[in-house]
Chains A and B, each alone.
Chain A
Amino acid sequence: MRQYGLGRLGLSLLAPYLLTATSAAVAQSADELVWGGDAEGGAPFVSADPDDTSRVVGFEVDVAELMARGLGRRARFVQSGFTTLDAAVSRGDFDIALSGLEDLPGRRSRLAVTIPYYEFEEKLTVRGADRERFRSLADLAGRRVATLGATLAAELLEQAERDHGVVPVLYEDDVHPYSDLALGRVDAVVLDQVLADKAMRRETGLVTQPGALAVGHYVGVLAPDDTELRDRIDAILRAAMGDGTLERIFRSYGMWNEATARLYERASRAGSAGLAAGTSGADGAVGADETETPVEAGSSRPSGRPGTIESTKRYLPRLLQAAAITITLSCLAMALAVALGIVIASGRVYGPRSLRMLLTGIVEVIRGTPLLLQLFVIYFGLASVIRLPAFIAALLGLGLNYAAYESEIYRGALEAVPKGQLDAARTLGLTDRQILRFVRGPQAFRLALAPMTNDFIALLKDSSLVSVITVVELTKQASIFASDIGSWVVPGLLCAVMYLAMSLPLARLARRIETGWRRG
């Protein structure tokens, strides 16, 4: 599972990244099983070894080594973002992806997927005070329920949105859904048992409801044409289920459960005929029994999966809605950036030395740190002081970041107004404020318009970063769409068209204003 918490962005994680960052491009040798995973997912999946940060540890590491041994190869880890693991394995960056990847119908339909090797339950977690009130997804109508994007839980919530009016809130990591639940930003979290257990050890005041919302499985994922290797790995997994090797692995991480034991029994019964796998859904009622929907390992596209055109029709309203969020957020953030930029630039041009130094410092700090970090700090870092709604945090993050850049544009433009213009204004008795308002400001604005237009277009695109704080804007929605249909072609095209539809008229408007000024 992907984990994006700031606490995880420590130096300890850098070493394996650096070691593996370029390895994807390196040819895979025949004596290696190159496997991809996301070390940001953390324990117990894959994480940097605290004793030797050049290594990774976790049950997926052990499973990969088990597979490599069975193949007579050496396991080599390649870091890849959680949400791009499918695409990376599909394009041949590594042999197999292992990172708590769930056995989802969409995934199975477009990739070669191993037999499941772990069974888990999807769990509903709520605040202790809500233990009686929120016992099922049906109890959460109109409430914000958090989960990790591109997971079975996200699909469950999507269904619950249709059935019960639940409001899904998608995170890019598995830590902040729980911390935001504790803070009251969301009313429940749906995630798998492994993550729920992990959160229970970290957070206080939360309760995981008994029973399962659904049952899911972890699988290995290979490129669609790599069925021969997949079959060999399946045989290795079956053998490891039979001889207790996998059980020992999961026991060593405290993850062994009865459901997985039953899964292994079914595997041994199925023998070479294949293993019933897949995901069982529940209608949102906690305590629903698991009802298996068998999918043959390696079977081709299951029937009933909508085609690209059907999916596009289904996603178009959501994409348009997300585009509206993008343009609204961008316009408001730009308005904030312009207003603050003017204040900062005025302070730097007209203010006393101490104010100029202070403002210069602020501008340099904002410009010198990544927008992503600023969004994290505003939304998550300040949560203990002020719980900003995600949209407001996104607006503030983008607005403040761009205000620093705008202020530099305005300062440069103000200083570029010829001195003679200011002398003339002074000798007519205009005050500094009047000069700024009637002479210097308007002339500076003309100079600033072109770079401002550039900045607005850049902001429009940078607004895609706010998905890390749960705002589902255009790029995020396109990513969800792409993840669902297993291709970026149509979602990417639609997304690009929508961005262009938003940015081109703006660029044209700016050109018209500039032309008007040149003429006038």
Chain B
Amino acid sequence: MTGPVLDLRAVAVEREGRRLVEGMSLGVARGELVALMGPSGSGKTSVLRAVAGLDPFVSGEIEVGGVRLVAGARARRDLLASLYRQVGIVFQFHNLFENLTALENVCLAPVRTRGVAPADAVRRAQELLASLGVAARAGAYPHELSGGEAQRVAIARALAMDPPLLLMDEPTASLDAGRRGELAATLRSLAGQGRALLVATHDAGFVGECRARVVTIDAPDSRGGRL
């Protein structure tokens, strides 16, 4: 295994002026599935958003696949463009584009940002949707999907960009127990394919099913450890 895909060094994050995470260091290697655990409001989502370049962080350093984010400022556009070749994120509420079908959601970015031919993008999107069990819902709009279906489409959308690192925020929030097991299997499979995964969750049962390495945040300090 080479160096970590994600490397957090002494990172501190704040939200609305309140320090949530202090001095957090964490590495996630290729093929590794890491669960970021902690109570609600402990800063799990804020860490993911900082890694995804959506919010600035206060101090420390974040490196994703060789793209280095510095503390205190929003990343430059060109840096973000490089970052989004390395990282994909699946949000807690999926954030599928409401004006597009499931298939269009998955195809949009590869066609528009990577220059993939539309026919190739559609073929790849159909494969991804099929592998996640939602091929039959390709023509549905987000509001027509169940929570589990929407989440799998969101995963397919992130995977269509083939990022080495996949971030997931509270992936079990809208799933029943059966779906939770399926999702855990999917994540294990993705890790098995060599992808690095960082999953923010407070669902210990799910983490057990994922067989993930656990990092716990006890705001304001965070400590790493293996479950």
Contacts and interface: CB of A to CB of B under 8 A. Distances in A.
Interface of A: 418, 420-421, 423-431, 434, 438-439, 442-443, 446, 520
Contact of B99 (A428, A431, A446): A446
B109 interface: yes
A426 to B, nearest CB: 7
Nearest to B85: A429
Interface string B206-226: 000000000000000000000
Interface residues of B, number: 29
Interface stretch (B24-32, B90-98, B129-137, B177-185): B90-98
Given A438-B108, A438-B112, A520-B141, A427 B89 contact: yes
A425 B88 contact: no
A36 to B, nearest CB: 58
Contact of B54 (A421, A423, A428, A438): A423
Contacts of A434: 112-113
Top 4 closest pairs, chain A to chain B, by CB: A428-B109, A429-B84, A424-B95, A420-B95
B210 to A, nearest CB: 22
Given A425-B97, A442-B99, A430 B91 contact: no
Interface in B88-126: 88-89, 91, 93, 95-100, 108-109, 112-114
B47 to A, nearest CB: 15
A349 B83 CA distance: 25
Given A420-B93, A423-B91, A520-B141, A430 B109 contact: yes
Given A430-B112, A442-B99, A424 B84 contact: no
Contact of A428 (B53, B77, B141, B157): B157
B80 interface: yes
Contact of A421 (B53, B88, B89, B98): B98
Nearest to B104: A438
A282 to B, nearest CB: 67
B30 to A, nearest CB: 20
Interface of B: 49, 52-54, 77, 80-81, 84-85, 87-89, 91, 93, 95-100, 108-109, 112-114, 141, 157-158, 161
B87 A427 contact: yes
Contacts of A439: 97, 99-100
Contact of B95 (A423, A431, A438, A446): A423
B75 to A, nearest CB: 11
B54 A427 contact: yes
B16 to A, nearest CB: 15
A428 B154 CA distance: 11
A443 B99 contact: yes
A169 to B, nearest CB: 48
Of A418, A426, A428, chain B has the most CB atoms within 10 Å of the CB of A428
Contacts of B93: 420
A424 B52 contact: no
B88 A427 contact: yes
27 contacts: A418-B95, A420-B91, A421-B98, A424-B89, A424-B96, A424-B157, A426-B80, A426-B84, A427-B89, A428-B84, A428-B113, A428-B157, A429-B80, A429-B81, A429-B85, A429-B161, A430-B113, A431-B77, A434-B112, A438-B100, A438-B112, A439-B97, A442-B99, A443-B97, A443-B98, A443-B99, A446-B99
Contacts of B95: 418, 420-421, 423-424
B161 A428 contact: yes
A425 B112 CA distance: 11
Contacts of B54: 423, 426-427
Contacts of B88: 427-428
A317 B11 CA distance: 77
A438 B104 CA distance: 11
Contacts of B108: 428, 430, 438
B115 to A, nearest CB: 12
A441 to B, nearest CB: 9
A443 B96 CA distance: 12
Contacts of B97: 421, 424-425, 438-439, 443
A47 B70 CA distance: 75
A429 B99 contact: no
Of B54, B99, B113, chain A has the most CB atoms within 10 Å of the CB of B99
Contacts of A429: 80-81, 84-85, 109, 113-114, 161
Contacts of B80: 426, 429
A420 B52 CA distance: 13
B84 A427 contact: yes
Contacts of B161: 428-429
A376 B152 CA distance: 60
Contacts of B114: 429
A439 B113 CA distance: 14
A287 to B, nearest CB: 72
A258 to B, nearest CB: 78
Nearest to A417: B98
A439 to B, nearest CB: 5
A520 B100 CA distance: 9
A354 to B, nearest CB: 20
Contacts of B100: 438-439
A507 to B, nearest CB: 23
Contacts of B87: 427
Contacts of B96: 424
A430 B85 CA distance: 11
Contacts of A425: 97
Nearest to A437: B112
A420 B93 CA distance: 8
Given A423-B95, A427-B84, A438-B108, 15 more contacts: A418-B95, A420-B93, A421-B98, A423-B91, A427-B54, A427-B87, A428-B88, A428-B109, A428-B113, A429-B80, A429-B109, A429-B161, A434-B113, A443-B97, A520-B141
